[in-house]
Structure 1
Amino acid sequence: MSHPITVLWSIPRSVSTSFERMVSERGDHLVLDEPFSRAYYFGPDRRSDRYDRTIPHSSLREVVEEIEEAARERPVFVKDMAYQAQDLLDGDFVGRVRNAFMVRHPAATLRSLARTWPDFTDDETGWAHLDRVADLVEDAGEPLVVVDAEALCADPERVVADFCDRLGLDHRPDALTWEPGMRPEWELWQEWHGSTAGTTGFSPLRPPPPPPGDDQHRLRAAYEAAMPVYERLLAHAVRGASKDK
């Protein structure tokens, strides 16, 4: 009998790696960091030419088989970008897992993405395929369980408790802090996870920067495409119990 597979679908630069680190600290899940990135960037049927390296056993089928095989032994938590799994989004994978979402204001995520990858593609912004997963979840009659990065970092105990309640997980407040350091599962994307490796917990975020101006054509177009998806998902964000209670 298989254990549950929980997938946190996110976008780049959304604090999702810190959330993943918190789940690792719980100790009750096998945590997989962006396994679908292997298929998207390094597999035999890759969708991106950003890298010329090929990683063996990285077809989308093989990645899914690895995840499902791991779930035979213990619960699995996957953090990934929906665009990296886009070839699954017309199949039944989404219906076989517990789905959750992580968002952060596009003015922050897109500027951060552009600093590392100034040649980012429409896929790599992450928002369009996140919207597609949300469609699939709602079409199946399931609620959207969304973590908002700003709310999480402002009040992690309440937001994580609410998230756990909605997914039927035990809340473990002791997992909200951790020892700094690079994790083995981050090996493929160490250059992206360096900032998280230096943390010991969630810290309040700076307010989002101003939206890109009209003179920033690429960023502005990406921002305008992202905002409706962000606002749609933000409306479902877990907020925790009221402080008045």
Structure 2
Amino acid sequence: MTKRIAMWSGPRNLSTAMMYAFGNRTDCAATDEPFYAAFLAKTGLDHPMRAEVLASQSNDETQVAQDMVGPVPGGRAIWYQKHMCHHMVDGMPLDWMGEVTNVFLIRHPARVIASYVAKRERPTAEDIGFVRQVALFDEVAARGPAPIVIESSDIRADPDRALRVLCAALGVPFNPAMLEWPAGPKPFDGIWAAHWYDAVHRSTGFAGAEGPLPKLEGEAADLMRASMPYYERMTEHRLQM
């Protein structure tokens, strides 16, 4: 029986490392941000490598949604789908979410924003996706039980424990192969990996526990304060380690 896992995250939030963890299982297919090109086509936003992203994926959000509940690549037992909350702008199809197991990966806004500005200046609330993450959570919860929520700091503090807890919640067996992976690009990376994934390409496993929260100033601090109520709402549902 196939397990389709839709992991919903904002940017700069351990999402690629989690994709590498699941993608290192021999029983798991992995897909990287399948709605990215459709999101860019729909919004007209100018992101790094925009032309390359648009050329690399389907720009039709309806087709992408159908693909997410279609045949699993390679006929694997598990399909890990890495999704970005902010890609699901108004008009994107959501009905398919009822046919997958939805998990929400959260991270403190201060850490997300500090990491984001190092790659792309002056992020907006839409860029970092906290508001949309709560909306998607509510969309899924309205259809049934509250979906799974996992905190990235829990994973980094104790990857073995956190992934065992997550796998139990998903109803899939834990596999120690999830704890480490070979360095370098992966065949399932999106084309945008050349811009965004330099650090994770150097990794062979999860980084250690995070230190104190970064100190933000000006617009970044304002954005953090505006995002906190949404983050705190999600933490109420996080898996207990």
State whether TM-score is above 0.5. yes
Structure 2 unaligned blocks of 5 or more: none
1:230 pairs with 2:231: yes
Alignment partner, residue 20 of structure 1: 19
1:170 pairs with 2:173: yes
Tell me how far apart the structure 1 counterparts of residues 25 and 91 of structure 2 sit (CA, whole Å): 28
* 3-state SS, counterpart of residue 86 of structure 1: coil
Q: How does 1:139-158 map to 2 (within 5 A)?
A: 139-158=142-161
* 1:35 alignment partner AA: P
Tell me how far apart the structure 2 counterparts of residues 46 and 64 of structure 1 sit (CA, whole Å): 17
| Contact 1:94-1:133 within 8 A present in 2 as well | no
TM-score of the two chains, using structure 2 as the length reference: 0.88
* 3-state SS, counterpart of residue 118 of structure 2: helix
1:136 pairs with 2:139: yes
Which string of whole-angstrom CA distances, capped at 9 and with x for unpartnered residues, describes residues 172-223 of structure 1?
123211111111222422121111111111121332434523xx12x12321
* 1:38 alignment partner AA: A
Q: How does 1:1-245 map to 2 (within 5 A)?
A: 3-41=2-40, 43=41, 45-50=42-47, 53=51, 54-55=54-55, 57-71=58-72, 73-74=75-76, 75-87=78-90, 91-190=94-193, 191-213=195-217, 216-217=218-219, 219-240=220-241
* 3-state SS, counterpart of residue 143 of structure 1: coil
* 2:46 alignment partner AA: D
Per-residue deviation, 1:30: 1.4
Q: Which has the higher contact order (CA 8 A, sep 6+)?
A: 2
Query: In 2 relative to 1, CA 88–167 (structure 1 residues): closer, same or farther, beyond 3 Å?
Result: farther
Provide the aligned length of Structure 1 versus Structure 2.
234
Tell me how far apart the structure 2 counterparts of residues 115 and 85 of structure 1 sit (CA, whole Å): 24
Which string of whole-angstrom CA distances, capped at 9 and with x for unpartnered residues, describes residues 117-172 of structure 1?
11433311111110111111222231231121111011111111110111101111
Q: Name the Cα RMSD after superposition.
A: 2.2
Structure 1 unaligned blocks of 5 or more: 241-245
Worse overlay, 81-90 or 128-137: 81-90
State percent identity of aligned pairs.
26
